[in-house]
Amino acid sequence: MIKLVRVDHRLLHGQVAFSWTQSLGVDCILIANDDVPQNDIRKTTIKLAKPAGVKLVIKTIEDSISALQSGVTDKYKLFIVVESVADAYKLAKSCPEIKHINLGGMKVREGTRNISKAVNITPGEESLVKELIAEGVDIEIRQVPNDKKVAALDAF
C-alpha cells in the first residue's frame, strides 16, 4: 500500500529519509523521477541516503506508474518521493490509490511564491494541487513528521 507521496526537490536525503521511514513504518522507498535513472551522481547520493533495512527502487515516472498499476508494489508499505508537484500530479492521476501527498521541499524558482518555510509554489502548481484536493487527495505541508501538519489549502 502507498503510505505517502512526498514532493522534495532534493528527493531522498539523509535525515528526512530516516525520519519519514521511521515514522511511516515503510519497508520500501520508490524514487519516481525521469532524471535520476540516467544520472549516476544523483543515483549514488540517493542510494547513500537509504536507511538500512529498507528497499530502494528508482524508476522513471512512466515506469513507476506501470509498476504501481501492475500490483507488484501492493505487498510493500511504500513511500514514494518525487521532485515536483507535476510529477506527483501525474502519479496521483494514474493511481487513485494515492490519497496523501506531502509537500516537503520546493525551492525558489521563476514565478514561485513562498507559502511555507521550505515550500515555494508556482500558480500552475497551485492549480494542480487544488485539482487533486478537489478529487479527495489529502495534501499537506510538513518537512519532518514532528512538524505541525498544515493543509495546503490553508497555506495558499
- Cell numbers for 76: 510493500
Which of 29, 121 has the CB closer to another protein? 29
Which of 38, 134 has the CB closer to another protein? 38
15 is a site residue for another protein (CB under 8 A): yes
- Cell numbers for 144: 519532518
CA separation, residue 115 to residues 23, 26, 57, 152, 154 (Å): 25, 28, 31, 9, 9
**In the annotation, is 100 catalytic?**
no
Q: Which of 9, 13, 43, 93 is catalytic?
A: 13
Q: Which of these segments, 67-75, 92-100, 102-110, 111-119, binds another protein (CB under 8 A)? A: 67-75
**Which residues, 6 or more positions from 85, have their beta carbon under 8 angstroms from its beta carbon?**
7, 103, 106, 121, 125, 128, 129
149 is a site residue for another protein (CB under 8 A): no
Q: In the structure, how many helices (H) and strands (E) does the chain have?
A: 6, 9
69 is a site residue for another protein (CB under 8 A): no
Which spans of this chain sit near another protein (rule: CB under 8 A)?
Answer: 15, 28, 40, 43-44, 47-48, 55-58, 67, 72-73, 76, 146
Catalytic residues: 13
